[in-house]
A and B are shown apart, each in its own frame.
With several copies, the nearest count.
Chain A
Amino acid sequence: MTVRVQQEAFAAGAELDAFTARATGAGAIVSFTGVVRDVAGGLIAMEIEQYPGMTERAIAEIVDAARSRWDLAEVLVIHRHGPLAPGAPIMMVATASAHRAAAFEAADYLMDYLKSRAPFWKKEITQRGEHWVEATTQDEDALSRW
C-alpha cells in the first residue's frame, strides 16, 4: 500500500506502471485520476486545503477498510494540496486484484470515502471571484452504497 499527500504534480502514467510492477500476481488493475476541470466563469486555480496529520490518518483508515473488504494485491492513493491549475491532476487511486470486480469496486469505494471522509477542502478561484466547493448530499449518500 502506498499513500502520498503532496503539493507536487505527479505523472499518472509512470505511477500506473510502477503500481502494476508492484502488484505481482494481480490480473486486474483499475486506476482513477481526478483532473482540475475548468468552470463557468473561468477557473484561475483550484486551491486544495488539507488537515496535515489527520489527512494521512484518514486515508490510511479508508485504505485499511477497503483491504479488509476486498482481496487487494496493492493499493495506491496520491492526493495533492495547494493551488492547482486547470488541467492539473488532483489525485489518483489505483487498485490491483486477482479479479476485475474487486478492483473496480475497491477503487469506487476509495473514491467515495476520499471524497467525504478525507480532510480536504476545495476552493475555486475564478475570474468572477472565489468560493468553496460545497459537499453534496449525493456525496454523503454515496457512502450508504457500501
Chain B
Amino acid sequence: MTLQVLYFAWVRERIGLPKERVETQAATPRALVEELRAREPRYAAAFADTAALKVALDQELAEWDAPLAGVREVAFFPPMTGG
C-alpha cells in the first residue's frame, strides 16, 4: 500500500521534509517506523526514541500497534504543545 506520511516539529526537522509518500507492507505504525529507521541515519535519528513521539492515523491519535489497513495518512510528531 502507499501511505502519505507526515512529520512535524523536530521530527520534520531531523528527517528534513514535511511529508512523503511511502510504499510499505507494514501492519502497524511501529512496523512502519522500523522500516523508516533502517533507511537512513536521519530517519534513525528522528525515530531514535518512539516513547518521545506520538502517531496519528488519518488525523486521529492512535496507538503504536493500531492496524494500518485502510489508513491513508500517517503522521509522526512529538507531544503537542498548544494553548
The short answer to whether A and B are in direct contact, CB under 8 Å, is yes
Taking beta carbons and an 8 Å cutoff, which residues of A are in contact with B? 34, 49, 51, 53-54, 57-58, 79, 90-91, 100, 111, 114-123, 132-135, 139-140
Min Cβ gap B21→A in Å is 17
Is there an interface contact between A135 and B56, defined as CB atoms closer than 8 Å? no
Q: What is the count of residue pairs linking A and B with beta-carbon distances less than 8 angstroms?
A: 73
Given A49-B8, A123-B9, residue A79 in contact with residue B56 (CB < 8 A): no
Report whether over half of chain A's contact residues are helix, strand or loop; otherwise say mixed: mixed
Tell whether B79 is near chain A: CB-to-CB under 8 Å.
yes
List of A residues within 8 angstroms of B81 by Cβ: 115, 120-122, 132-135, 139
Contact A135 B6 (CB under 8 A): no
Which residues in chain B, 1-28, are within 8 Å of chain A measured between CB atoms?
A: 6, 8-10, 12
- Report yes or no: A121 in contact with B77, Cβ–Cβ below 8 A: yes
B56 nearest in chain A by CB position: A54
Q: Which of B10, B77, B79, B83 contacts A51 (CB 8 A)?
A: B77
B82, A79: Cβ atoms closer than 8 Å? yes
Q: Give the residue of A53, A57, A117 whose beta carbon is less than 8 angstroms from that of B80.
A: A117
User: Is B66 engaged at the interface, CB distance under 8 Å to the other chain?
Assistant: no
CB contacts (< 8 Å) of A114 on chain B: these are: 82-83
* Separation of A49 and B77 alpha carbons in the complex (Å): 11
B71 interface hit (Cβ, 8 Å): no
Q: Which residues of B sit under 8 angstroms from A120, Cβ to Cβ?
A: 80-83
Contact of B78 among A54, A57, A135 (CB under 8 A): A135
